[in-house]
Amino acid sequence: MFITNQSGGKRNEDLILPINSSLSVTLHQDQLKTTTTVATSRSFQEDRIWLNGKEEDITHPRLQSCLREIRRLARKRRNDGDSGVDSASLSHKVHICSVNNFPTAAGLASSAAGFACLVYTLARVFGVEGELSGIARQGSGSACRSMYGGFVQWIMGNKEDGKDSLAQQVEPETHWPELRILVLVASAERKPVGSTSGMQTSVKTSCLLKHRAESVVPGRMVEMTEAIRKKDFAAFAELTMKDSNQFHATCLDTYPPIFYLNHVSQQIISLVHRYNKHYGETRVAYTFDAGPNAVIFTLQQHVPEFVHVVQHFFPPETNGADFIKGLPVNCASLSEELKQGIGLEPMPKGINYIISTKAGPGPCVVEDPTQQLLSSDGFPKKMM
């Protein structure tokens, strides 16, 4: 999942309640996904979690919030007389194993995907049904949007208890079939400043963030929703880029300033604007979350040429066989006029690889037993 209209900090850090509403696109699981397996057993001595083959701290407050709320709802259903809840399993400890097929903690919404998948899986195991985005929000704010497919808004809400701060689908993933997303992975490394700590500092110190939340985002949400519903790419693209730019302006307005973008990110921004200027129309748009990796929106017919533009100006280290992942991209030739029109100096090895994808559905059950991450004994099949 990747953000188009950025959330901008929290009005309540414990409940993870935002200071403004936001909108996102859920990406297709065939290209970017988190897979999570949960097992319960009376033989387990304690709750445990493994992420990408390495055991992590299960006592993390946000993990505990999700576990506690799912168990509370399961107990409530049992007490209400629901025979579908296995009362014995409620006292069992859980083992959780989760794997991302894309870089973790690199500004690619891994926490959003991870907590959405975790909450969905826990709900299935404990027989909890109904609205789950409010629980996912307590793990990671962006995770509430990842509970749905397609285009999703996170309604900020006004209640102190956060019960009206929920996600809502704007349009399903089938709404705009021509829309394509290219993830340009400039760095797969862990971010020097985490999203949560960075936003806490911004809320305390950035005057621009307050102005943005109160005066800019409400109107922009309306415009963005309308552009999506009308499939107006030019309007959608301009709003997306302006919103990304302003989000990072609030990072610079933070004291001390936060630098999520690097020189590769800046070169990508320049490339997009020069490409659009060359054609005299907006064909591609960028957005950057809290990291240096670009998410590019474009229409299907422009994918081959723009991918090869990126490959030309960011030549890969090898012959490029693994440079393009995900959905197949057709070959395209670049005219000298286009290369000269963009006119940037190539930046070798600036981009590690591109993931080609599109809008996709929300969490779902994987039926293939070979994809289970835990063995019959409840421990990970693979460890680092």
pLDDT given at position 9: 72
Average of pLDDT values for 176-186?
Answer: 96
- Band of residue 188 on the pLDDT scale cut at 50, 70, 90: low
Average of pLDDT values for 141-152?
Answer: 96
Among 82-96, 120-134, 326-340, the range scoring the smallest mean pLDDT is 82-96
Residue (of 50, 308, 353) closest to 188 by Cα position: 353
Residue (of 40, 38, 51, 47) closest to 96 by Cα position: 38
pLDDT given at position 124: 94
Burial (CB count <10 Å: 0-12, 13-18, 19+), residue 165: buried
pLDDT given at position 44: 97
Residue (of 49, 38, 42, 34) closest to 104 by Cα position: 34
Q: What is the pLDDT of residues 259-297, one digit of tens each?
A: 999 999 999 999 999 999 999 999 999 999 888 999 999
Residue with the bigger pLDDT between 189 and 284: it is 284
Residue 38 CA to residue 125 CA, distance in Å, equals: 7
- Band of residue 1 on the pLDDT scale cut at 50, 70, 90: very low
The phi and psi torsions of 290 (rounded to 5 degrees) equal: -80, 65
Among 56-60, 80-84, 155-159, the range scoring the smallest mean pLDDT is 80-84
pLDDT given at position 2: 44
Residue with the bigger pLDDT between 11 and 166: it is 166
pLDDT given at position 317: 79
pTM of structure: 0.92
Rounded to a whole number, what is the distance in angstroms from the first to the last CA of the chain? 26
